[in-house]
């Protein structure tokens, strides 16, 4: 496994991160334990989680497995707060009360006294940004987290948040921004990535395989056991099952055939070569899927293939 600094900070993380969004739901306890062991054995360090994941049971499961493996010292634990389930809906709530309640809950469930990175899960237009960012400061001062970041912020929101904190007496930096980024979702390049690079923030890319589309499994249609066949996930995946996005997958397939690697390997290698990307957060349903994705670490794409993928994916935006 290769490692990178997150932006201008001193935090080192594995270039591939383990995502846990479906732990406790699509991924049961047995598979989760196997995935964590596989990830750590491969040299992975960055594990990304949130109190809302797995319908609220993910972090307790993750904490149990970390403790069982005595692995806390080997893991860079990245948590989030600011999305909360209330009844049948998910609210954005970055108020001080909710953020600290969620942080303390995460620490209890994960069985640790601190996170290595704590991220605001999404922009909350209803809460004053001073309150949200002041809560990040408080979490660092009280030892609950070592570093702080943001997630799913636009370019101007990223710049506003970073500047507000940087101008404070303690000059606490936002070290990272987590954003969806892949060959079928390159909108982050318009504003978020330039802002992050200018401000010295690292990028954590979620859904680097385009919600599964960039594995190539939808080339012949929608498999019955895939997310796109599940009504709960159909819209989430379906937006990338268009003729324009299919052209990107076919370009990946041609490249993978020439390089004798999988389509997913090419997609991940392209992403990890992008400026500013510190880590790609991969979430797998099975251990075999995770193993396949981790094997992409050995691939470095020739410049001509990178350019060809740039061109076809840019046309598909």
The catalytic residues are 53
Residue 76 phi/psi, 5-degree rounding, is -95, 105
C-alpha 66/C-alpha 20 separation (Å) is 13
Q: Would you state the structure tokens that stand for residue 248, as one six-digit string?
A: 């990107």
Residue 213 pairs in a beta bridge with none
- DSSP H/E element including 176: strand 174-180
**Taking a C-beta distance cutoff of 8 angstroms, is the pair 280, 272 a contact?**
yes
Positive or negative torsion for Cα 63, 206, 41, 117: negative
β-pairing verdict for 3-5 and 12-14: antiparallel
**What is the DSSP track for 255-276?**
HHHHHTS-HHHHHHHHHHTSTT
Q: At what angle do helices 243-259 and 303-315 cross, to 10 degrees?
A: 170
C-alpha 106/C-alpha 71 separation (Å) is 17
Positive or negative torsion for Cα 254, 258, 264, 269: negative
**Taking a C-beta distance cutoff of 8 angstroms, is the pair 2, 108 a contact?**
no
Q: Would you state the structure tokens that stand for residue 17, as one six-digit string?
A: 């991160």
């Amino acid at each position: 496994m290769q490692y990178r600094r997150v932006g201008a900070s001193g935090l080192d993380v594995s270039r591939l991160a383990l995502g846990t969004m479906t732990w406790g739901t699509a991924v049961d306890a047995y598979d989760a334990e196997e995935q964590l062991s596989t990830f750590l054995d491969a040299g992975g360090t960055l594990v990304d989680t949130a109190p809302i994941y797995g319908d609220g049971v993910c972090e307790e499961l993750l904490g149990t497995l970390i403790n069982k493996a005595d692995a806390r010292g080997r893991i860079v634990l990245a948590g989030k707060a600011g999305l909360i389930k209330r009844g049948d809906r998910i609210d954005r709530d970055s108020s001080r009360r909710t953020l600290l309640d969620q942080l303390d809950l995460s620490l209890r469930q994960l069985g640790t006294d601190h996170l290595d990175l704590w991220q605001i899960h999404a922009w909350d237009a209803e809460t004053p940004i001073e309150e949200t960012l002041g809560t990040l400061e408080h979490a660092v001062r009280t030892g609950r987290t070592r570093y702080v970041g943001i997630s799913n912020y636009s370019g101007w929101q990223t710049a506003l948040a970073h500047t507000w904190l940087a101008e404070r007496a303690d000059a606490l930096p936002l070290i990272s921004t987590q954003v969806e980024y892949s060959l079928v979702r390159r909108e982050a390049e318009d504003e978020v990535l330039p802002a992050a690079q200018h401000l010295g923030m690292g990028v954590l890319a979620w859904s680097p395989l385009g919600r599964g589309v960039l594995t190539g499994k939808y080339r012949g249609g929608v498999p019955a056991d895939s997310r796109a066949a599940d009504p709960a996930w159909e819209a989430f995946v379906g937006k990338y099952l268009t003729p324009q996005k299919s052209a990107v997958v076919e370009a990946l397939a041609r490249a993978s055939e020439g390089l004798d690697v999988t389509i997913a390997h090419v997609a991940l290698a392209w992403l990890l070569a992008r400026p500013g990307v510190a880590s790609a957060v991969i979430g797998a349903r099975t251990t075999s899927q995770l193993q396949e994705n981790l094997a992409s670490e050995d691939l470095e794409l020739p410049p001509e293939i990178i350019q060809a993928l740039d061109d076809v994916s840019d046309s598909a935006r």
